[in-house]
Every structure is written in structure tokens, then in C-alpha cells.
Amino acid sequence: MACIGAFASVVYASHSWGEYHWARTGNPFVLKVGKNVSVAWGSHLATAADNWSASEVLDATVVPGQTNPKNCRAVNGRVEVCDSKYGNTGWLGIAQVWVSGSHITQGTVKLNNTYFNTGKYNTPAWRQFVMCQEVGHTFGLDHQDEVFDNQNLGTCMDYTNDPDGAVKGQIGNLVPNTHDFEELAAIYGHNDASGILSAGTDAASGAEIGLDNPAEWGKEVRKASDGRGSAYHRDIGHGKGVFTFVIWAQ
């Protein structure tokens, strides 16, 4: 419980979530991002990986996927990005990040076509915004702002109802901004003794939890301005857990 309290106080000071990071022996490190997405999402994944790789500390490299997009089971030491019709789950996109101690061991991004196939969300701007944000969470970044209808900050890590800025004539939230790169430089400012750590069998069993279902996400650790949860933590024992970051469909 003390750990959760510390987490809550840290996130307001910065937008990492408790300094969780991938273990690596130096920068830039290569993070494999598995492509398990359909044609409609391919260019958005490529763009997001390119944008984030402008960071001096990491290279997000898109590689062939190793999971079934329908369940998007996590793969040790990698991020798997998936799209599917996950149903009326309430969420537009989620990022799920497995941690062991302070280190990230694996991650998944799920994009829910049940909502992206509707008129409101079936736009390049909504797709790019959500892809960029969910991939960003898998590096250890939190949201910069969680109010949907205030002015855009120019980063995909800022909740918005106006992803490309066209509605209000403002800057778009389609790419990372300077502050995101500063935050990455801070949380990856040290070297670890080893490369990317194994999630192990405990975390693998965590992948069998029904992680599409918000009821399985565990304790709400962050709340957005609309009163809905924005981040959750499920303890899976042995110092391990799964964080879920969510963008709800409106």
C-alpha cells in the first residue's frame, strides 16, 4: 500500500509513473515493437515509432508481431501493438505494462475497432493520437494532462477532444513534445547492470487475466478530470504487477 501512496505523489511532479523503466545497459536502447495491426493502423504505428525514436535514449523498432491481435497476449521483453473489435468494453485504447520491481518487462497496446469504426473516431487524427499515447505509456510515461476539453499542450500524452487541433484552431496532440523527451531522458538517465529483464512465468500468468475487462484491472491509481479512472494497477504477486492506462470512448 505504501508503494501506491508514493506513486500517487510522484505523478503530479512529473509524468513518469514512479520511475518505471526498461532495464538496459546503455542508451539508446532498442525496444522491439511488434506489429499485430491491420492495414488501417499500419502507418499510424510506423509514424508513432518514428516520432518516439527521436528521443536520444530509445529506438522503438517495429518488428513482425508475435501475438494474436484478438487477445494480444504479452511477449517477454517486447511491446506488442494490436487492433481488433474488442467489443463494447468502454475503452477506445489501452496500454498495459508489466513491471517487476522498478523495471518494465513487457507491454501491450490494444486499439478497439468497435469504436474506431464509428464516425466520431474513424479519423486519421484520432487514430494517431491514441496510437502515439498508448505506445508512449509503454516506455514509462504518464499523461501530461487529463482534462479533455482544455487547450492542447501539443503532445499526444495530453487528453483531448480535438486531436489535430482543427476543431478549436489550436496545436494538435498527435506527436510527443519536448517535455516528453526530457522526461524520457530523466527516467533513462542511469544505466542498469543488465539488459531487458524477463517477465517470468508469474507475469505470463498475469497475461491470462481477462485484461480487456476493466473489472480485472485492479486498483484505480489515477482519476481524470471527468471522474473516470485513467490508470490502474493489478498486483500479480512476487513484486510484480500490471499497470493499465486507458482512453475511454466518450
CB-side neighbour CA atoms (13 Å) of 139:
35
| Least separation in angstroms between CB 64 and Zn ion | 26
CA distances from 160 to 153, 155, 201, 221 (A): 9, 10, 37, 20
Which x/- pattern over 71-110 shows residues binding Zn ion (rule: CB under 5 A)? ----------------------------------------
150-189 positions binding Zn ion, by CB under 5 A:
none
110-149 positions binding Zn ion, by CB under 5 A:
133
**Residue of 19, 59, 192, 220 that binds Zn ion (CB under 5 A):** 192
Q: Is the Cβ of residue 36 or residue 100 nearer to Zn ion in the bound state?
A: 100
Q: Is the Cβ of residue 126 or residue 245 nearer to Zn ion in the bound state?
A: 245
Q: Is the Cβ of residue 165 or residue 229 nearer to Zn ion in the bound state?
A: 229
130, 111 in Cβ contact below 8 A? yes
Q: Which of 215, 208, 58 is nearest to 140 (CA)?
A: 58
Q: Is the Cβ of residue 41 or residue 232 nearer to Zn ion in the bound state?
A: 232
Q: Does 245 bind Zn ion (CB under 5 A)?
A: yes
| Least separation in angstroms between CB 87 and Zn ion | 20
Q: Is the Cβ of residue 51 or residue 133 nearer to Zn ion in the bound state?
A: 133
| Least separation in angstroms between CB 129 and Zn ion | 10
Query: CA–CA separation, 127 vs 76, rounded Å?
Result: 26
In this structure, the number of other CB atoms found within 10 A of the CB of residue 64 comes to 8
| Least separation in angstroms between CB 228 and Zn ion | 12
| Least separation in angstroms between CB 245 and Zn ion | 4
145, 153 in Cβ contact below 8 A? yes
| Least separation in angstroms between CB 98 and Zn ion | 15
Give 3-state DSSP helix, strand, coil % of the chain, rounded to 5. 25, 30, 45
Q: Is the Cβ of residue 1 or residue 108 nearer to Zn ion in the bound state?
A: 108
80, 66 in Cβ contact below 8 A? yes
Please tell me the count of residues contacting Zn ion according to CB under 5 A: 3
32-71 positions binding Zn ion, by CB under 5 A:
none
| Least separation in angstroms between CB 12 and Zn ion | 16
Burial class (CB in 10 A: 0-12, 13-18, 19+), 106: buried
Query: Cα(first)–Cα(last) distance of the chain, in Å?
Result: 31
Query: CA–CA separation, 156 vs 118, rounded Å?
Result: 21
Q: Is the Cβ of residue 3 or residue 205 nearer to Zn ion in the bound state?
A: 3
Residues making contact with Zn ion (CB under 5 A): 133, 192, 245
